[in-house]
Amino acid sequence: DVQLQASGGGLVQAGGSLRLSCAASGFTFDDYTITWFRQAPGREREGLACISGSDSSTYYTDSMKGRITISSDDAKNTVWLQLNSLKPEDTAVYHCAAIRGAVVPAWNYYAMDYWGQGTQVTVSS
């Protein structure tokens, strides 16, 4: 049974940091690319960062580039997203999703094979 579970969200003040995690189970992590997306109220979902399970190459969109870092622990089938210098406009639900293969970068949410429930990040001013 394939599962992706995002966690680590919460309430943080502007300028603060959070570390989100995406725990994957039920598939071979090395064969997939994992992407973090976010969706804020009234806004379109956007890709933030992705990492290839095969070679750990990473890619970022301009949305939060310079303030986020994606990393993975293949042995634990977990991908992390470090969020720094958070701003109120970063308030959103953050999701992880997986697509089979080294499909990089993977920014099309609807092309992904598996999706996890999101974790809420709220940044206060």
Residue keyed to tokens 């996890």: 116
Q: What is the pLDDT of residue 102?
A: 87
pLDDT value at residue 27: 86
The DSSP-derived string for the chain is --EEEEE--EEEETT--EEEEEEEESS-GGGEEEEEEEE-TTS--EEEEEEETTT--EEE-SSSTTTEEEEEEGGGTEEEEEE-S--GGG-EEEEEEEEES---S---GGG-SEE-B-EEEEEE-
| Identity of residue 22 | C
What pLDDT score was predicted for residue 1?
85
What one-letter code names the amino acid at 12? V
Residue 29: per-residue pLDDT = 79
Reference 48, options 105, 98, 89; nearest CA is: 105
pLDDT computed for residue 76 by the predictor: 80
Spell out, as residue ranges, where the chain has pLDDT lower than 50. none
